[in-house]
Amino acid sequence: MFRLPALAPAVARAALRAVAAPGAAGARTAALSTGVPPAAGVGYPGAEEASFTTEFEFVDPETAFPMFQLMGPDGKFAVADDQRPAIAEDKELLLKMYKVMNTTQIMDTFMAKKQRQGAVSFIMTSYGEEATHVGSAAALTGDDVVYAQYRESGVLLWRGFSLDETMAQCFSTQADGGKGRQMPVHYGSKALNFQTISSPLATQIPQAAGAAYALKRSGKDAVAMTYFGDGAASEGDFHAALNFAATLECPALFFCRNNGYAISTPTKEQYRGDGIASRGPGYGIPTIRVDGNDVFAVYEAVARARTLAIEESRPVLIEAMSFRIGDHSSSDDSSRYRPDGERDKWAQVAPIPRLRSYIVERGWWSDDEDKELQDSLFADLMTAMRKALADKKPSLDEVFTDVYDELTPDLVAQEAELRVHLAKHGDKYDLGVFAPSTKA
């Protein structure tokens, strides 16, 4: 039987407490065990379970949170055959994972080139983090609400977001559900239960707590899943979110992509604790750290976290360790702050080749199929891009809509003012790119 830490409720709580005081094993345990329990009724309300101790000690944990891994960089399982996760035998699922991970990567390369050529204004790639997207998305159901930061396009692709929809958003065409208002990569999809991405970091984290609370009240067996980076976790909203989710008993999954950098800032300058995972127990939240380059570990962690969150109405924190192989964005050159060769080293242990080794070894995949996949994806991307380039931008009718449910008198007046202006000076603007107005 496959075993993981933090499973059954009682086990989870015990594990949590153990982890809550890393280093508790050994000397410290001995010190704590000599403590005098508070007499009945005199435990301070702020920490009722704390024992008294006469031994002076600053708690200063040194032991790092363990990192859950099932498959190493060589594509071989690190666990015995009978402890492999059930999905190890699920050829169909694994091939879908592999294909979506490749789609993410090939789309990133394609779009990055188009950005360099000036065809699109901005792009952010996900190189090295494809397993965190696909492994986690595969463990969710369509009822689960997703809140993303911006580097999670694989989650949307997994859920069925088409290349046409991707291109429509990045090229701000009239086919974009977001009506061309936001920068590229700020995807959203009502049909896919994926809340629209916004630029301010970490704002989505407390929102996910609130969404989870509403889901719980509605009686749905669903969680709110939110993704964020190690940098975003320094925002106040991260703190608010975890504390709210714990105290208000929300089935929210907090998924941190710890990729080592927030733009140019290495994690050493982001925090001095043991990553993001070490913070979870402080909030009373069951927590696990996983190898984010191992799609099996990510999948198992999220699947089990989801079950725990729903069954116990509790949030779970998952810290997926990986490395941001690409630049932060198309506006960034990471060679200015990262040592030469670092990204090559991480490419060696990247998630895609790791899963590839496994499926090739099983005889489920071949070099020829890789070539076919790449060729067909490239052709699909070209088709989708040509379509997006040929499409009109949204109509100017959409400048003023959706600020409120209805146009206010001021907005009606300002729209009229704009139309009068354009009637006079339309030749100074490139109005031909916009779809025609549907207004008389």
Partner 1 sequence: MLRLSRAVCSMPTRAFASTAVAAAGSGGDKLPGFVHKVVDEDVPQDGEMVEMNLFEAVNAAMDVALDTDETACVFGEDVAFGGVFRCSMNLMEKYGKDRVFSTPLSEQGIAGFAIGMAAMGSTAIAEIQFADYIFPAFDQIVNEAAKYRYRSGGMFDVGGLTIRSPYGAVGHGGLYHSQSPEAYFSHTPGLKVVIPRSPQQAKGLLLSAIRDPNPVLVFEPKALYRAANEPVPVEDYEIPLGKAQVLKEGSDVTVVGYGAQIYVLEQAILMAEKELGISCELIDLRSILPWDKDTVIDSVNKTGRAVISHEAPKTSGFAAEVSSTIQEACFLNLESPIQRVCGWDTPFPLIFEPVYVPDKHRVFEGIKAAIEF
Residues that bind partner 1 (CB under 8 A): 145, 176-179, 181-182, 186, 188-190, 195-196, 198, 200, 203, 205-215, 217-218, 224, 236-237, 239-241, 243-244, 247-248, 398, 401-405, 408-410
Query: Toward partner 1, which CB reaches closer, 211 or 385?
Result: 211
- Dihedral of alpha carbons 151, 156, 157, 159, sign: positive
**Least distance (Å) from partner 1 to the CB of residue 8?**
26
**Least distance (Å) from partner 1 to the CB of residue 401?**
7
**Least distance (Å) from partner 1 to the CB of residue 236?**
6
What is the Cα–Cα distance from 99 to 107, expressed in whole angstroms?
12
In angstroms, what CA-CA distances link 101 with 89, 129, 146, 150? 19, 9, 18, 16
Query: Toward partner 1, which CB reaches closer, 182 or 307?
Result: 182
**Least distance (Å) from partner 1 to the CB of residue 194?**
10
- Dihedral of alpha carbons 149, 396, 161, 370, sign: negative
What 3-state DSSP class applies to 62?
A: coil
**Least distance (Å) from partner 1 to the CB of residue 358?**
37
Phi-psi sector, 356: left (phi>0), alpha (psi -120 to 50), beta: alpha
Q: Which residues contact 428 (CB under 8 A, 6 or more apart)?
A: none
What 3-state DSSP class applies to 160?
A: coil
What 3-state DSSP class applies to 224?
A: strand
Contact 94, 351 (CB under 8 A): no
**Least distance (Å) from partner 1 to the CB of residue 394?**
8
Q: List 227's β-bridge partners, or say none.
A: 255
**Least distance (Å) from partner 1 to the CB of residue 214?**
4
Query: Toward partner 1, which CB reaches closer, 248 or 373?
Result: 248
Query: Toward partner 1, which CB reaches closer, 195 or 259?
Result: 195
Query: Toward partner 1, which CB reaches closer, 205 or 325?
Result: 205
Q: List 226's β-bridge partners, or say none.
A: 147, 254
Query: Toward partner 1, which CB reaches closer, 165 or 327?
Result: 165
What are 301's two structure tokens?
Answer: 């962690």
Contact 103, 156 (CB under 8 A): no
Query: Toward partner 1, which CB reaches closer, 213 or 365?
Result: 213
